Structures are given as C-alpha cells and as structure tokens.
C-alpha cells in the first residue's frame, strides 16, 4: 500500500532559480539547531582563515621575550594587548591561533579534495564496471588501508621533508581508500535501484546512467563524508604537528603550539589550552555541519522531516 503524499504547494516549483533553492536550504538549516550552530561556526572559522592578516592584532611570529609567558588578559599579570596571553617566546597567542586556522583548514580542504577526487574516481570505476576491474581496484585499496598510517607519514616526511604540501598529499592519498569504499558501496546500491533499471529500460546509455542517475545520488553521501573527513584531517594534522612531523615550527599551527604548551602544562596552562580549544571548536562545527548535511542531502530523510 502506498502512503498519500502530504499536500504540496506546487507553486514552489514554478521557477527553480538559485534564489528559491537558497531560500529552501536556509529554511532547512534554520530548522536544525545543531546545523545552524555548526554552520555559523564554520563560516566564522573560514573567514578567520581568509582574513587572518586583517583580524589578528599582532604579527604571529614577532617575539618579545620581555612579555613571554604572559597569562590571558583577565588573569593577574595579563594585558589586553595580548588578550589570550603569550607563549614562551612572547608571541601573541590570539594571533597565532588565528594564523593556525589557515594551516588546519588548508590541510582539511585540500586533503579532502585530493582524497575525494581519487577515491571517487576509483570507487566509481570499481563499482560501475565490476568484475576484474573491481577486484584489482579494491585490492589496491585494501593494501593501502593495511599500511600503518603513522609509519607511512614518518617515512614520507623523512624523505620529502616537512612542508604543508607534503602533508596534504599524504593525507589525500592515505584517506582516499575511505572515499573509494563509500563510493563503491553507493554505486553498487544505486546501480541496482529501480530508477537505474527504469532508465535502462527507457534506453538510457552508459553516460546518461552515470551522470544523470548515479553521480547526483552519490554526491549527498560523499559531501557528508567529506565534512567528517575534513574534521578528522584537522585532528590528524594537529597530531602530526604535535609529533613534529607536519609543518616546520616557523609556521604557526595548532599542533605545534600544543606541543610547546605540553611542556609547560602545569605552570603556563594557557599555552596548550587555546590551541586545544580551537581544535575542539573546529571539529565540533564540522561534525554538526556534517550531521545536518546528512539529513538534508538524503531526500528520504528530508521528506520525513518536512
């Protein structure tokens, strides 16, 4: 038995411009409080990264040993010139946190871009062609997943040197198997779906099946995965920095700051606290956003929420 669809105002379909779409998505966003919070934080974080030179009060690299290890402004001995205090070399914590956003977001964004592109192409090929191609591609993927990731990173960092591009490449490559797996799974599911069968029965060719039917239905789950992976990569990058395997200490990154702060955790706790807070807020915003996207991009969930 079928359930009757709720009454629909068909006027809303009259014209589908980017304006009506945007209004629709905004409505969906405002209905989800977590999503709204995640989205606002996300926008703030991105703006911070883009406008770092404008919004940061000081040069993040400028050392001032006389003002070293100064606590946050509201504590005794603090000064509003360095609202979040200074580190062991007297550099302004706030400015360093702001600049650190750039490293984290760059790694997260480009890492996911590379991983997503590689993984999607591999997963799509494996899932759609099937058979031997599938076995070979998924074999490679499984080998990749079997390599201990940290060892791989240490080796590559040792050979290629420590810089941002290498970190991005390593993340992009090591994370692509996850995208490949998810893509392949989705392609297998979509390929067996009623609408692909009916499109095939209406004479649609391979290109049409791929681009009109499989890809659009794939994008939703992949965007959701990308959001979560981005937050994971920001974590990993901080971890690598903490181990001294990511960007050199001359570049302010949250992991580097955390690593310095660790040594002074009991005496000057703010040095480690602020980068920790920044990492936590960023990860939280991406995860909230990802949860919301998962709900919105799945048409079935969207309908049940309407």
Partner 1 sequence: MKPILQVRDLITRFYSVDGVVHAINGVTFDLYASETLAVVGESGSGKSVTMMSLVGLIPMPPGKVEGGQALLEKGDGHLDLLSLSDDQLRHVRGGQIGFIFQDPISSLNPTMTIGQQIAESMTEHLGLSQAEARSSTIKLLRNVGIPDAEKRYNAYPHHFSGGMRQRVMIAIAVACEPKIVIADEPTTALDVTVQAQIVDLVKRLQDQMGMAVAWITHDLGVVAGIADRVLVMYGGTVVESARVDDLYEDPHHPYTIGLLKAIPRLDESGNDETEKLTSIEGTPPDLYQELTLCPFAPRCDYVFDRCWQQLPPLIQVDDQHSAACFYDVKRGEPRDDIE
Residues that bind partner 1 (CB under 8 A): 1-5, 8, 10-11, 13-16, 193-195, 197-205, 208, 212-213, 216-217, 299-300, 302-303
Min dist. Cβ of residue 243 to partner 1 (A): 43
CA 59 to chain centre: 27
Phi, psi of 51 (to 5 degrees): -100, 20
Could you give the CA distance from residue 105 to residue 237 in angstroms, rounded to a whole number? Answer: 10
> How buried is 100 (Cβ within 10 angstroms: 0-12 exposed, 13-18 middle, 19+ buried)?
buried
Bridge partners of 117? none
| 16/79 with CB nearer partner 1 | 16
CA angle 249, 253, 259 (to 5 degrees): 65
| 262/303 with CB nearer partner 1 | 303
CA count, 13 A, side-chain hemisphere, 303: 8
| 11/76 with CB nearer partner 1 | 11
| 124/170 with CB nearer partner 1 | 124
Bridge partners of 92? 86
Min dist. Cβ of residue 219 to partner 1 (A): 8
| 31/208 with CB nearer partner 1 | 208
Min dist. Cβ of residue 149 to partner 1 (A): 34
| 150/188 with CB nearer partner 1 | 188
Could you give the CA distance from residue 304 to residue 285 in angstroms, rounded to a whole number? Answer: 25
Min dist. Cβ of residue 184 to partner 1 (A): 18
DSSP 211: I
Min dist. Cβ of residue 162 to partner 1 (A): 43
Min dist. Cβ of residue 30 to partner 1 (A): 21
Tokens representing 297 are: 């991009």
Question: Taking the CA atoms of the chain, what radius of gyration do you get in angstroms?
Answer: 23
Of the candidates 71, 87, 49, the one whose C-alpha atom is nearest the C-alpha of residue 257 is 87
| 148/203 with CB nearer partner 1 | 203
The dihedral built from the CA positions of residue 279, 280, 281 and 283, taken in this order, carries a sign that is positive
81: Cβ contacts below 8 Å, ≥ 6 apart: 57
Min dist. Cβ of residue 192 to partner 1 (A): 9
| 135/263 with CB nearer partner 1 | 135
Min dist. Cβ of residue 205 to partner 1 (A): 6
């Amino acid at each position: 038995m079928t359930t009757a669809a709720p009454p629909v105002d068909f006027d809303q379909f009259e014209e589908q411009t980017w304006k009506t779409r945007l209004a629709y998505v905004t409505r969906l966003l405002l209905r989800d409080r977590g999503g709204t919070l995640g989205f606002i934080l996300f926008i703030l974080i991105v703006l911070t990264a883009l406008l770092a030179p404008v919004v940061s009060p000081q040069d993040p690299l400028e050392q001032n040993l006389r003002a070293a290890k100064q606590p946050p402004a509201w504590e005794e001995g603090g000064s509003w010139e360095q609202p979040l205090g200074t580190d062991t070399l007297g550099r302004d914590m706030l400015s360093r946190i702001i600049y650190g956003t750039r490293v984290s977001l760059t790694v997260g964004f480009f890492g996911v871009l590379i991983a997503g592109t590689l993984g999607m192409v591999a997963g799509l090929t494996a899932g759609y062609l099937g058979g031997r191609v599938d076995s070979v591609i998924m074999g490679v993927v499984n080998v990749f997943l079997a390599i201990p990731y940290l060892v791989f990173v240490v080796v590559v960092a040792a050979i290629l040197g420590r810089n941002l591009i290498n970190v991005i490449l390593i993340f992009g490559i090591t994370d692509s198997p996850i995208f490949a797996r998810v893509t392949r799974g989705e392609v297998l599911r979509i390929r067996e779906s009623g609408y692909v069968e009916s499109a095939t029965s209406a004479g649609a060719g391979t290109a049409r099946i791929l681009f009109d039917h499989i890809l659009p239905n794939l994008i939703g789950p992949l965007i959701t995965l990308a959001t979560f992976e981005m937050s994971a990569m920001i974590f990993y990058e901080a971890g690598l920095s903490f181990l001294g395997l990511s960007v050199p200490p001359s570049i302010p990154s949250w992991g580097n700051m955390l690593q310095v702060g660790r040594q002074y955790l009991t005496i000057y706790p703010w040095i480690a606290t602020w980068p920790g807070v920044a990492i936590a807020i960023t990860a939280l915003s991406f995860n909230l956003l990802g949860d919301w996207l998962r709900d919105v991009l799945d048409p079935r969930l969207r309908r049940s929420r309407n």
